[in-house]
Structure 1
Amino acid sequence: MGDETVTASAGTERVLTNMANAMVERGYNVIVATNDKTDAVPYFPFDARVHCLYLNVDTKKIPFSVKVKREINRIFPILDKPVEAYRASVSVRKLREQLKMDSIDCIIAYNHEAIQVADCFVHGIVPIIAMMHNAIRIIMGNCNRRVLAEKAKANVIQVLMPSYVAETRKYLPHTPVVWIPNVVEPVCLEKQAHPSAVKDRYRIITVGRIDGLQKQTHILVKAFASLAQQYSQWDVWIWGEVKKTDYYQRLCQFIEEQGLTGRVHLAGTTPAIQDELCQADIFAFPSAFEGFPLALTEAMATGLPSVGFRSADAVNELIVDGKNGILCEDDVSAFAQGLERLMKEPALRSAMGRQAVADMKPYYPEAVWNQWQMLIDEQIQQASRL
């Protein structure tokens, strides 16, 4: 159950699809309920056995009274988010029209906003597992007491990194918290990168939405601009969807002004990202924060050394500085230095890439889905004793 769209190509939507498909493969009857339009086409395909309910909530007009509450809440943030709360009530009504309570044994609230929907729908009768897809400080850092109280209604909170367990307990001290990471698919040898190979042209690649706040795409572009003349055989490939056209246009203008047209590629999206990763030599990841970055872990599983920021949540736990990649301080110059170190040392790229592959093995599907199955079954069994 989630309130986001399944039509997007982002990592969280991919997690939802992978989980639904894995659980139905293990014998569960899986229903995916989202607020999408009734004719939504998922970017990542679901197994035919997964039943999808598209509640068509986001198209419903927001009442004037709710808009007024939203404006008041911006000045005096004492309410739960009024618009989200209204949409949650609509979602609950539509769920009740389409689902019978006795057909549900457990609800996984796909994101933290969906907890409110799940709680109103089941009223404590069915256990709720709440997934936290981002860094905890981002999800909970600005929450008021009412919002935190809403999250505490989950029977258990699932987080993506070990350090997030203690961090979550600071906000929700009485709610059980478990660490289950996202799945990282193993990459066969034929599909792995060869970052030490001699080539006519070398590639720095990044994967993620074109964004200035979280993904900080401009940092990569500016860092490469400072290196481009000295390393004339290198190019940058940026794969990701465009959310803000003004930011994208500023990036394009900077690329043109720096004479990097044809060397910095804003390539858009592709369902065959693995083919692009295996052609690359370095993975650049200038995010400010992450929950569990699928793009980074997929690059590591492919055998690419990575460059990221020491302060970035999750990134600073997955990249082990000097072992499977390089962690930098938070500025363009430091990021450029990290890139350059790898650009000029093929043997280092190869050694870090091999270590990155080894470091991803604990996240392979069987281990992660076993953890999920155990958690789901435990929650169902506990509920049956009540």
Structure 2
Amino acid sequence: MKTLLLLYMGDETVTASAGTEKVLTNMANAMLARGYRVLVATNDDPGAVPYFPFDAGVECLYLDVHPEKIPLWIKIKREVNRVIPLMDRPVEAYWASLSVEKLRKRLSPTEIDCIIAYNHEAIQVADRWAGHTIPIIAMMHNSIQAVMGKCNRRGLDEKAKADVVQVLMPSYVAEARQYLRHTPVVWIPNVVEPVLESERAQMGHSKSTYKMITVGRIDADQKQTHILIEAFASLAGRYPDWNLWIWGEIREKDYYNQLIQFVDRQGLTERIHFAGTTKAIQEELRQADIFAFPSAFEGFPLALTEAMATGLPSVGFKSADAVRDLIVDGKNGVLCDEGVTSFADGLERLMKDQILRQTLGQQALADMKPYYPDVVWQQWQDLIESQIKKTSQI
């Protein structure tokens, strides 16, 4: 039996409810089902409870790495690096060194056939822990600009220590190669689970009230929640039978409070709902009529693809990485120019036309089939086996 080590390091945690954590759990469970021994190593506390549960048989190594006090010399390095960026993120590198020490006490590289690194710190840990004795597959969970655009040469050199880099969209392959000229880059998308017909959106039914929904953390820079709220507010008077539901965790309290105050000033507290997080998001999607997704950029947006697999038409920005690849304007959703006004126009295009919503939603569902689990996990298994074989021949 071959053994895979999935590394998710730094200050990331399996207790979070975001997309990367879901991908981690899904991959661990899928590879276990395909006959691999699967180990997952993170810096979590030993008593951590994953938000997305691992199947029995997945072995979790929680290394308990939480440095409360960063050494002075690391802080000095960080400040120097801000002025002259010659080092690769000193604080993160320090975390990685602590993780390597803990991992060495728990696991021998001789037990592992392939490492899958889930973030930048994980690549550092894998390289320092195993050297070049085990193939390292590095995953890029966001757009290439977001992952590599702000890296200095040292940071890119760290990423290049992987044997192969996996990206989420076909257009990212050439873009990644501009940063990593000598590292193989492959495209494998995230998995989109098929949705049973009974759990899909009922787009052909007339309703007394209609639901617009978004799923994602409440965030100003990437998710741009304010754009959706302002766009909906501009339409609310003309469409009194529509309500907006916002599902996602709150990370920026000040920003969230500003949104609450805006909603209150608009008199929309009964129509714009901040719903928090839920593990039953499929039921919420099933009841919805439009999926609104105002992100500035994405890697491979699970929330969007889950909505599309449910049969929902979506509205997004044509400037947003990945979003513009998944939404085809007028075919399975609506793409807009940047800004509140354009986004509101895109929403209204669907709000006023039930037949269009139904037509686009049906096509969205069909367009998700290439991302179904059997297809994607086979691509991953082929990549893993090719890397193991290549290393064994060296």
Q: What secondary structure does 2:8 align onto?
A: coil
- Answer with 69-78 or 24-33: which moved more: 69-78
Shift of 1:56: 1.3
C-alpha separation in 1, matches of 2:87 and 2:393? 35
From 102, 106, 109, give the equivalent of 1:98.
Answer: 106
Q: Can you list the C-alpha shifts for 1:84-105, whole angstroms capped at 9, x where unaligned? A: 0001011111111000111001
Partner residue, 2:219: 211
Following TM superposition, where does structure 1 have runs of at least 4 consecutive aligned residues deviating by more than 4 angstroms?
none
Partner residue, 1:186: 194
Shift of 1:58: 2.4
1:262-277 to 2 correspondence within 5 Å? 262-277=270-285
C-alpha separation in 2, matches of 1:330 and 1:113? 33
- Answer with 250-259 or 196-205: which moved more: 196-205
C-alpha separation in 2, matches of 1:266 and 1:63? 40
CA contact (8 A) 2:93 2:121 kept: no
Shift of 1:196: 3.4
Shift of 1:110: 1.1
CA contact (8 A) 1:196 1:281 kept: no
C-alpha separation in 2, matches of 1:195 and 1:217? 25
CA contact (8 A) 2:213 2:244 kept: yes
CA contact (8 A) 2:192 2:302 kept: yes
- Counterpart amino acid of 2:71? P
- Counterpart amino acid of 1:23? M
User: Considering only aligned residues, what root-mean-square deviation do their CA atoms show, in Å?
Assistant: 0.7
C-alpha separation in 2, matches of 1:10 and 1:301? 18
- Answer with 56-65 or 247-256: which moved more: 56-65
Q: Can you list the C-alpha shifts for 1:199-240, whole angstroms capped at 9, x where unaligned? A: 011000000000000000000000000000110000000000
Partner residue, 1:199: 207
- Counterpart amino acid of 2:96? A
Q: Does 1:348 align with 2:359?
A: no
Q: Can you list the C-alpha shifts for 1:113-133, whole angstroms capped at 9, x where unaligned? A: 311111111110000000000
Give the number of equivalent residue pairs.
Answer: 386
- Counterpart amino acid of 2:130? V
Partner residue, 1:234: 242
Q: Does 1:159 align with 2:167?
A: yes
Partner residue, 2:121: 113
C-alpha separation in 1, matches of 2:235 and 2:66? 45
CA contact (8 A) 1:195 1:282 kept: no
Question: What fraction of aligned residue pairs are identical, expressed as a percent?
Answer: 68
- Counterpart amino acid of 1:305? P
Shift of 1:60: 4.6
C-alpha separation in 1, matches of 2:50 and 2:317? 32
CA contact (8 A) 1:148 1:172 kept: yes
From 2, 14, 19, give the equivalent of 2:8.
Answer: 2
C-alpha separation in 2, matches of 1:275 and 1:237? 13
1:243-322 to 2 correspondence within 5 Å? 243-322=251-330
C-alpha separation in 2, matches of 1:131 and 1:113? 12
Q: What secondary structure does 2:221 align onto?
A: coil
Partner residue, 2:158: 150
Partner residue, 1:53: 61
Shift of 1:61: 2.6
Partner residue, 1:172: 180
C-alpha separation in 1, matches of 2:353 and 2:298? 28
Gaps of 5+ in 2: 1-6
Partner residue, 1:384: 392
- Counterpart amino acid of 1:259? G
CA contact (8 A) 1:206 1:284 kept: yes
Shift of 1:109: 0.3
Gaps of 5+ in 1: none
C-alpha separation in 2, matches of 1:82 and 1:113? 11
Q: Does 1:125 align with 2:129?
A: no
TM-score (norm 1): 0.99
